[in-house]
Amino acid sequence: MTNMVTSKTKAQLIVDNKELQSRLLEAKEMISAIGSGEVDAIVISGAEGEQVYSLSSAETPYRTFVEEMHGGAVTLNQEGLILYCNNRFAELVKQPVNFVIGSYFNDYIIPVDKLNLETLLKKLTSRKNRALIISLTNSTWLKLSIRLLPAYLHGDNYIIIATDITELKKKEIELLELQKQLKQQLVQLQDLRYDIINAKIETDVVNKKLKNIIKKLVKENTRFKQKETELKHKLTGLPPKSKQ
């Protein structure tokens, strides 16, 4: 009799252990799903029946943060339609929020940057953040940080954070213009240096020629004086004085 009771107790412990392991696995899966954003609500059974607990309490401060953040925030669908934007992005494109939402992102970009953005979005995966610098039609420069949301979050939409870099871009353009001017001045200085070198070479050549001419003139002058002396002596009949 004792052996039978002991045997049933062991069997029950095995069943209970399996049930506990199953519950533990469910709890771990639920925690993992909540942490990764796969679920936004959970159902819990209690004495008062099943109750739904929403995670909207975590979403509220997030939305507040997005609305008040310094950078522009945009949610974009696969067609480039703006599903959501914060006030800052509306300020950047200089349009009311209710006008921007429902419009196309490309409407605010200069033509040359539209193809760059479309190409980047097609290659984007949910595992990578990509950055792109674009210019708006109102001459504002933006640096975009773009991420593709996973399929379980809002159907493969894009999240874009836009930072105004207009002042930095102006400084960059000014720097490039200054660099261009410096290169031109350097070329001019090099040309001037070559001119000076060539002029010096020409001067040296002229000086050398002059020296040769002077030497010849001195020789000719010496010969002329000798001839002149000889001629005088011939005319006077006196022999030329010998050099002591």
Distance of CA 201 to the CA centre of its chain: 49
The predicted model scores a pTM of 0.51
Poorest-pLDDT segment among 52-56, 129-133, 208-212, 220-224: 52-56
pLDDT at 5: 45
Whether residue 195 sits in one domain with residue 143: no
Whether residue 64 sits in one domain with residue 136: yes
pLDDT > 80? residue 85: yes
Q: How far is CA 193 from CA 179, 184, 186, 202, 206, in A?
A: 21, 14, 10, 14, 20
Whether residue 180 sits in one domain with residue 223: yes
**Domain residue limits at 196:** 171-244
* CA-atom Rg of the chain in angstroms: 47
Whether residue 151 sits in one domain with residue 115: yes
Whether residue 208 sits in one domain with residue 157: no
pLDDT at 55: 53
Per the structure, the count of domains in the chain is 2
Whether residue 155 sits in one domain with residue 117: yes
Nearest CA among 122, 109, 37 for reference residue 78: 122
End position of a domain, from candidates 147, 164, 181: 164
Is 39 a domain residue? no
Q: Which residue has the higher pLDDT, 221 or 58?
A: 221
Average of pLDDT values for 82-89? Answer: 90
**How many residues are given for the chain?**
244
Q: How wide is the angle at C-alpha 186 spanned by C-alphas 181 and 192, nearest 5°?
A: 130
pLDDT > 50? residue 97: yes
Interval 186-214: pLDDT, tens: 888 888 888 888 778 878 777 888 888 88
Residue 121: CATH number of its domain: 3.30.450.20
Q: Which residue has the higher pLDDT, 216 or 105?
A: 105
pLDDT at 136: 92
pLDDT at 39: 57
End position of a domain, from candidates 103, 134, 164: 164
Whether residue 158 sits in one domain with residue 66: yes
Whether residue 189 sits in one domain with residue 123: no
Q: How wide is the angle at C-alpha 212 spanned by C-alphas 210 and 214, nearest 5°?
A: 70
- Give the residue carrying structure tokens 């490309």: 106
Whether residue 186 sits in one domain with residue 123: no
Whether residue 127 sits in one domain with residue 70: yes
Q: Collect all residues with Cβ–Cβ distance below 8 Å to 41 and sequence separation of at least 6.
A: 52, 53, 54, 55
